[in-house]
Amino acid sequence: MKILIVAETDGARISEKTLPAIAFAQQVAPDSFTILAIGNNTEGVETLAGYGAQAVLVASDPKLAKPLAESYAPVIAHHARQLGADLIAGTTTTFSRDVLARVAGILDAPMLSDIMSLNVNGSTLIAKRPICSANLIGTFEVEGSPIVCTVRGPAWGKPEARGQSPIQQAEVPSDIPTRSEWLSLQGGSGGRPDLTQARVVVSGGRPLKDSETFEKYIGALADVLGGAVGATRAAVDSGIAPNELQVGQTGKTVAPELYIAVAVSGSVQHLAGMKDSKVIVAINTDPEAPIFQVADYGLVADLYQVVPELIEALKNGR
């Protein structure tokens, strides 16, 4: 089986979010995977070269300076055809959901999303993925070649360091569509670690009232721990936190070493995005709140009292 891994990028820099997809390739086809990085003079390409890929292909062109699915997908489809790739994969992120779905369309290929495991039986792939807000695990069989897939980051982890791969300039097709124009990127983590990559995530729920209060309590606790900030959908819908911070079924999936849920009830939709976290701490006034069923440590308390105390204690190294 030949795998083409698509590196995650903002066009200027390779993202660490690529790593689970490389770990996936190492497990499924250790001797026959290639990594494709797209952008314009993209930084960090060399960080992809230490994992035993047959090659790291670099498609560089000013028209690829921004990660637009419309322009990236034909480049990926072109190299998938040239390589004779059986599987084209990336880590489950907004980038690959956008770009790889379009690749599947161009190649008329079936697509598997967010897979946690994969078995190969002849030309049939048998994959497991979470369904029903991650309360059930579904098994899916797909036949054919090529197949496009996204892989669930926490399930595949980080790749092992292996032999160095040659870095090669890759052909850029001349007919890249340019109908869409990149205008701006809203949001960003405001100097904090990326939510999906952070070691610590502090999330806040609806009771945080407004964005200033959210920042004062959730932002400050995250900062003292060097962590990222997350939010529930109720907090996002109430305008307390920006959309890109939403964790859950219709938000981001995170699996940090430490997840602190402050005034978060623990709906199934929220749990779907964070229950793989290694240690979960919950602060909630309601001892019956469902979040306590998944929490390793629970504090039945008012956030407005205990969060400032916690921040002070952490600042003083207690």
Ligand X SMILES: Cc1cc2nc3c(=O)[nH]c(=O)nc-3n(C[C@H](O)[C@H](O)[C@H](O)COP(=O)(O)OP(=O)(O)OC[C@H]3O[C@@H](n4cnc5c(N)ncnc54)[C@H](O)[C@@H]3O)c2cc1C
The residue written with tokens 């979010």 in the block is 17
Q: How far apart are CA 180 and CA 64, in angstroms?
A: 12
The DSSP string of 204-249 is E-GGG-SHHHHIIIIIHHHHHTT-EEEE-HHHHHTTSS-GGGBBST
Question: Under DSSP, is residue 86 helix (H, G, I), strand (E, B) or coil?
Answer: coil
Closer Cβ to ligand X, 220 or 264, answer by number: 264
Strand 258-262 to strand 200-204: parallel, antiparallel, or no bridges (unpaired)? parallel
Q: Does 225 bind ligand X (CB under 6 A)?
A: no
DSSP-derived letter for residue 161 is P
Long-range contacts of 249-253 (CB under 8 A, 24+ apart): 249/133, 249/134, 249/273, 252/195, 252/196, 253/92, 253/114, 253/152, 253/153, 253/154, 253/196
Q: Does 264 bind ligand X (CB under 6 A)?
A: yes
* Min dist. Cβ of residue 269 to ligand X (A): 3
* Min dist. Cβ of residue 313 to ligand X (A): 18
| 219: nearest Cα among 242, 237, 197, 251 | 242
Spell out, one character per residue from 49 to 78, where the chain touches ligand X: x when CB under 6 A holds, - when not. ------------------------------
Closer Cβ to ligand X, 90 or 251, answer by number: 251
Tokens describing residue 213: 């209060």
* Min dist. Cβ of residue 247 to ligand X (A): 6
Q: What is the number of the residue whose Cβ is closest to ligand X?
A: 248
Q: Which of 58, 225, 254, 303 binds ligand X (CB under 6 A)?
A: 303
* Min dist. Cβ of residue 1 to ligand X (A): 34
Closer Cβ to ligand X, 227 or 251, answer by number: 251
* Min dist. Cβ of residue 19 to ligand X (A): 24
Length of the chain: 318
Within 10 Å of residue 124's Cβ, how many Cβ atoms?
11
Q: Does 171 bind ligand X (CB under 6 A)?
A: no
Peptide bond into 146 cis (omega under 30): yes
Q: Does 263 bind ligand X (CB under 6 A)?
A: yes
DSSP-derived letter for residue 301 is S
* Min dist. Cβ of residue 263 to ligand X (A): 4
CB 120 within 8 A of CB 94: no
CB 208 within 8 A of CB 217: yes
* Min dist. Cβ of residue 24 to ligand X (A): 24
Q: Could you tell me which stretch among 14-22, 113-121, 168-176, 199-207 binds ligand X (CB under 6 A)? A: 199-207
* Min dist. Cβ of residue 308 to ligand X (A): 12
Q: Does 234 bind ligand X (CB under 6 A)?
A: yes
Q: Does 258 bind ligand X (CB under 6 A)?
A: no
Q: Could you tell me which stretch among 62-70, 88-96, 152-160, 248-256 binds ligand X (CB under 6 A)? A: 248-256
Q: Which of 40, 47, 211, 285 binds ligand X (CB under 6 A)?
A: 285
Spell out, one character per residue from 200 to 219, where the chain touches ligand X: x when CB under 6 A holds, - when not. -----xxx------------
Q: How far apart are CA 192 and CA 238, in angstroms?
A: 22
- Angstrom CA distances, 59 to 46, 75, 117, 170, 180, stand at 14, 8, 29, 5, 19
Q: What number of chain residues touch ligand X (CB under 6 A)?
A: 28
Q: Does 302 bind ligand X (CB under 6 A)?
A: yes
Closer Cβ to ligand X, 197 or 285, answer by number: 285
Binding site for ligand X (CB under 6 A): 205-207, 232-235, 246-251, 263-265, 267, 269-270, 273, 283-286, 289, 302-304
